[in-house]
Structures are given as C-alpha cells and as structure tokens.
Amino acid sequence: APPTLDRVMRKENIHLITDSVIEEAVGDAMGLTGVDIRNVKTDEITHMDNTGLFVFVGHDVNNDVLKDENGEFICKMNDWGQVIVGLSMKTSVPGLFAAGDMRIEAPKQVVSAAGDGSIAALQVISYIQEQQ
C-alpha cells in the first residue's frame, strides 16, 4: 500500500470502511452528528455516530498517462507507482511536472493537490521561459 494508506492502517483510532457508500450525512445546527453507510455488497445500512468525516476515494495511483507504448513509465517512480518529484514538482524528465495524488508523499487531499498544481504551473512557466 502507498505510505499514506499504510500509516492510516496502523492507527487504532481510524476505521477504514470498504465496499460502502454514504447514504446520508446526518446532522443538526451544530454540524455533522453521524452517517448512514450502505455496504454495496450486502445492502446492509449501518449508522455511525461521529463529528468528523474524511472520504478517501481509492488508493491506487492513476498513473497510466505516464506510460509509453510498451507500458513502461517515462519518468522515475517509486514501488507504489508514485512519481518521484522534488519540492518544485519536477520529475526525472526535463519539462515534465507531476502534482497531486500521483506524486510521492502526497497528503491525498484536494487542497494539497491544488497547491501542488499551482507550484507545478509556475515551474512550467519558468521552464518555458528558460527554453526561449
């Protein structure tokens, strides 16, 4: 499993619920109080009381776009199929930048992916200017 998921699986106070969808988020004027969860294999609905919710949509990295016609990656990847980048989001291929969930050590959150995208976009502009 990717490092983020591996850390989550070792935490005793985090419970992963798979093969399920949220049927309803339940709350009041103060916020979320619980969720009704339906198992897609059994159709059983379970209510869970909680005041916080984090939805982790999948753990496989969607990296096929970085494969050549032979199915080989065009840039350096780690063992979990995540792109190896530095803080500037540069890959091992000049002019190729990666951001969001496909990069190493990604927090797997939309706000972080947006920040990565912003960094990568600025780096692309710099790269293009350097090439002229």
Write out pLDDT tens, residues 28-41.
Answer: 988 899 999 999 99
Q: What pLDDT, in 10s, does the model give residues 82-127? A: 999 999 999 999 999 999 888 988 877 778 888 999 999 999 999 9
Question: Are 83 and 125 in the same domain?
Answer: yes
Question: Are 28 and 69 in the same domain?
Answer: no
Question: Are 43 and 68 in the same domain?
Answer: no
Query: Domain limits at 112?
Result: 64-131
Q: What tokens appear for 56 in the block? A: 């982790």
Q: How far is CA 112 from CA 54, 79, 118, in A?
A: 14, 22, 10
Question: Are 127 and 69 in the same domain?
Answer: yes
Q: What is the pLDDT of residue 9?
A: 83
Q: What is the pLDDT of residue 48?
A: 92
Q: What pLDDT, in 10s, does the model give residues 57-71? A: 666 778 899 999 999
Between vectors from CA 82 to CA 113 and to CA 115, what angle results, nearest 5°? 15
Q: What is the pLDDT of residue 55?
A: 67
For residues 50-71, b (16+ Cβ closer than 10 Å) or e, as one string? eeeeeeeeeeebebeebeeeee
Between vectors from CA 17 to CA 16 and to CA 18, what angle results, nearest 5°? 115
Question: Are 45 and 70 in the same domain?
Answer: no
